[in-house]
């Protein structure tokens, strides 16, 4: 980006009628002097909203075609502006665009350049338009594309989990509540649990995209226009599902940003919880998983260390994602209708959340895909006889005992085994309430193979579960492809 002269000078091109020139602000007519350097330094947003360049060009082109359709531009004028927009878009994409001092945001910069290229026709680009509907249009286009792309990465991550789950076959591990060993569960069931949470994230992203699919173009600064604009036609041109119904609402509505930030924050929380498990599981204390060298880090001082930094950073970044959401909600909460400059604060938060979650999804996905589960260590931990207590009580229920009594009997036997140092299996074997067949339960993995209830942590119900999960994932994939096609992606 080239740097021009300081913000106070006024080197506008007064000899170029109708042009904003390189030195004039968009509002120069009403002002005697130029803006202070400090004002530009504080209010300019170009350094982050340059990301919206392609979306602004698309929005501007649709606006120009709309103006031509209703006779506000001649065909020659519209052709000249469209060609200038195309050239400007190419300069921006190729990195050849020369910014000047007064380009306070990407929208100003594009209009300035179009006017330089197209001459007097360029000065008609902003007819019936305000940056308020212009910015909202470009940002909705950007958020739509970003959510569809991120949802695709979540689907990839889900696929990694399902592949790992299926590869793990009938491997089992301790299931925990309160981080205390509770009952054995198949490793596949545990990994699938995380995949279900990610599926809900994809659902929420698709919902958010459908809700934000509204075109603000034609709302003007706040009130629409006395010119014969056709918002429905520009909405269709841009691939939006519908035009706005209320100009005050659509120019000041940032629900779509808050919603996107929430969806990403909750996704971050889901990844963080899995991250916490990988941190625990890769510790010497658990030893359930060994990370691939390519997805672990070492220590600058302790030669033996192998650290799960990806899992930790994913856990850490969830704080930042939540911060981005709460920051915007606080910004929004005191704003009267309609546009207020505060709304410019909506972009950095979302750009940041999208960038961070995308990095995390790819790195974490690679870490999980390349990790080795140590299924013997997991099985050994799960074969702890104490974890069979619930299944033992259920065997007594099968014998006709009320569950509360069965619970008390097994609880008493377990207490005995602790105080007397006798294995639970010996005490159970010698207890008259249990059938002889109880011995089978103490065989490795038997508890998991006996579990039958639908959706439960048994090998039988798990086959059904994977059928459902994969059907959901197929459905997500086709919904995302439909959305992407409708958005022209």
Footprint of ligand ARG (CB under 6 A): 45, 49, 105, 131-132, 135, 339, 341, 343-344
**Closest approach of ligand ARG to the CB of residue 135, in Å:** 4
Closer Cβ to ligand ARG, 135 or 392, answer by number: 135
**Closest approach of ligand ARG to the CB of residue 61, in Å:** 19
Closer Cβ to ligand ARG, 139 or 286, answer by number: 139
Closer Cβ to ligand ARG, 109 or 459, answer by number: 109
Closer Cβ to ligand ARG, 252 or 356, answer by number: 252
Please say whether the beta carbons of 120 and 15 come within 8 A. Answer: no
**Closest approach of ligand ARG to the CB of residue 98, in Å:** 20
**Closest approach of ligand ARG to the CB of residue 340, in Å:** 9
Closer Cβ to ligand ARG, 230 or 345, answer by number: 345
**Closest approach of ligand ARG to the CB of residue 182, in Å:** 51
Known catalytic residues are: 178, 299
Closer Cβ to ligand ARG, 132 or 234, answer by number: 132
**Closest approach of ligand ARG to the CB of residue 462, in Å:** 50
Closer Cβ to ligand ARG, 333 or 341, answer by number: 341
**Closest approach of ligand ARG to the CB of residue 145, in Å:** 18
């Amino acid at each position: 980006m080239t740097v021009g002269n300081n913000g106070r000078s006024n080197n506008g091109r007064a000899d170029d009628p109708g042009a904003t020139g390189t030195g004039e602000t968009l509002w120069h007519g009403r002002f005697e002097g130029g803006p202070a350097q400090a004002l530009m330094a504080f209010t300019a947003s170009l350094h982050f909203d340059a990301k919206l360049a392609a979306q602004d060009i698309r929005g501007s082109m649709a606006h120009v075609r709309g103006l031509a359709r209703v006779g506000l531009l001649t065909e020659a004028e519209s052709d000249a502006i469209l060609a200038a927009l195309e050239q400007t878009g190419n300069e921006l994409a190729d990195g050849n665009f020369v910014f000047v001092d007064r380009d306070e945001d990407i929208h100003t910069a594009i209009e300035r350049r179009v006017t330089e290229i197209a001459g007097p026709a360029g000065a008609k680009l902003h007819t019936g338009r305000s940056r308020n509907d212009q910015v909202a249009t470009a940002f909705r286009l950007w958020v739509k594309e970003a959510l569809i792309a991120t949802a695709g990465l979540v689907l990839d991550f889900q696929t990694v989990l399902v592949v790992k789950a299926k590869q793990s076959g009938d491997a089992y591990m301790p299931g925990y509540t309160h981080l205390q060993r509770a009952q054995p569960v198949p490793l596949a069931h545990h990994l699938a649990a995380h995949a279900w949470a990610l599926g809900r994230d994809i659902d929420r992203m698709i919902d958010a995209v459908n809700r934000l699919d509204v075109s603000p173009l034609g709302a003007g600064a706040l009130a629409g226009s006395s010119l014969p604009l056709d918002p429905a036609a520009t909405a269709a041109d841009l691939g939006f599902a519908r035009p706005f119904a209320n100009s005050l609402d659509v120019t000041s509505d940032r629900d779509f940003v808050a919603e996107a930030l929430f969806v990403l924050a909750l996704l971050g929380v889901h990844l963080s919880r899995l991250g916490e498990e990988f941190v625990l599981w890769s510790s010497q204390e658990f030893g359930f998983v060994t990370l691939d060298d390519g997805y672990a880090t070492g220590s600058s001082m302790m030669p033996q260390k192998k650290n799960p930094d990806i899992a930790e950073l994913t856990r850490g970044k969830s704080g930042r994602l939540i911060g981005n959401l709460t920051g915007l909600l606080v910004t929004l909460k005191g704003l009267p209708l309609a546009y207020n400059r505060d709304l410019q604060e909506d972009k950095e938060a979302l750009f940041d959340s999208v960038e961070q979650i995308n990095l995390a999804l790819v790195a974490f996905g690679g870490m999980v895909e390349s990790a080795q589960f140590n299924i013997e260590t997991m099985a050994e931990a799960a074969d702890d006889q104490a974890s069979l207590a619930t299944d033992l009580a259920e065997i007594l229920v099968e014998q006709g005992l009320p569950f509360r009594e069965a619970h008390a009997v097994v609880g008493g036997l377990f207490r005995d085994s602790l105080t007397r140092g006798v294995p639970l299996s010996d005490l159970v074997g010698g207890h008259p309430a249990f059938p002889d067949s109880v011995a089978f339960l103490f065989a490795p993995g038997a508890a998991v193979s006996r579990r039958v209830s639908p959706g439960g942590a048994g090998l039988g119900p798990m086959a059904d579960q994977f059928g459902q999960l994969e059907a959901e994932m197929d459905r997500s994939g086709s919904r995302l492809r439909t959305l992407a096609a409708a958005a022209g992606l």
